Amino acid sequence: MSRAPSFESQVFWRFSLIRRQTITTQVINYILDLIRKGQVKPGERLPTEKQLTEELAVSRTCVREAIKSLQSLQLISVRPKIGAVVLEPSPVALINAEYLSTSAFMQQADSLIEFRKVLELGLVALAAEKSTEADWAAMREVLAEQEAALRMDRDTPTADLLFHEAIGKANIRFHKAVAEATRNPLAIMVLQAISAPLIEVSRRTNEMPGVPEAGLRQHWAIYRAIRENNPEKARHAMRLHLQAAERNAHILQTAGQAASTLPAASSTEQNRNQPEPA
């Protein structure tokens, strides 16, 4: 049986997360500023990972996390042998960009969760009424993906990034599967429209110890209620899931506020605290 993290390890995790998110946000804001000022136009390449690392005096881990965030919100595209290329910004991408700064992310996360309560509590009840064996099979397939992601290696920064990418995509796929089970095309379209900020929220909160495992358990509870064709039980399971998401977002909000009071780290300290990928 796994043991709960010690107080010391929780303090170390919280400090490390605050520090890394603060530095990563600085990298994101720097790149967004390049795009806003037209220094890098749509179709052009961003500075390379090595250039950003040297110019900003940050670790490769923070640069890679920033690139992942920008890519997940459809602001850039990472192409093999070419690098990160700026995309022509769509209205949705411009809205999604508001989720990238720590303060804006926290403000918007509350609005996002509030909207999800309105949307997904209704969807899950409808799914419990309308879902078929094919829908249940689709949900089980996603749950199996989540379980596989939780078995992934997370011992290096690169492996950890791959894990969070996999678990984030699986999380969103499960909620899309619930929406698809309602047979309501508008519901599916709305959930698709908010999928990019959902992925970003998921990526950040799943860095917290125990959150990915708890999310899987909550998804199983939602699935079982839908499988039993029990709308009220399904609504209850989804409500508990969204309440957990809200608590996790508020923990990150506290972390973000604490980060603003921390002294800036030197590049030497940053690179010592954040090991480079092999």
Q: How far is CA 253 from CA 22, 109, 258, in A?
A: 12, 9, 9
* Tokens read off for 177: 């599967």
Predicted structure pTM score: 0.61
Average pLDDT score over residue span 248-272: 52
Q: Is the pLDDT of residue 43 over 50?
A: yes
> What per-residue confidence (pLDDT) applies to 91?
59
Q: Is the pLDDT of residue 221 over 90?
A: yes
Give the CA diameter of the chain. Answer: 58
- Low-confidence winner among 121-125, 139-143, 165-169 (lowest mean pLDDT): 165-169
89 contact partners, CB below 8 Å, separation of at least 6: 35, 42, 75, 97
Q: Is the pLDDT of residue 103 over 70?
A: no
Bridge partner residues of 84 (DSSP): 78
CB-count exposure of residue 130 (10 Å: 0-12, 13-18, 19+):
middle
Candidate ranges 77-81, 90-94, 118-122, 132-136; pick with highest mean pLDDT: 132-136
For the stretch 47-102, pLDDT in tens is 999 999 988 888 888 888 888 878 877 788 988 888 899 988 665 565 555 555 54
CB-count exposure of residue 105 (10 Å: 0-12, 13-18, 19+):
buried
> What per-residue confidence (pLDDT) applies to 212?
92
The rounded distance, in Å, linking the Cα atoms of 182 and 75 is 31
For the stretch 173-203, pLDDT in tens is 999 999 999 999 988 888 887 777 777 777 7
Q: Please state, rounded to an integer, the average pLDDT across all residues of the chain.
A: 78
Q: Is the pLDDT of residue 243 over 90?
A: yes
Average pLDDT score over residue span 3-25: 50
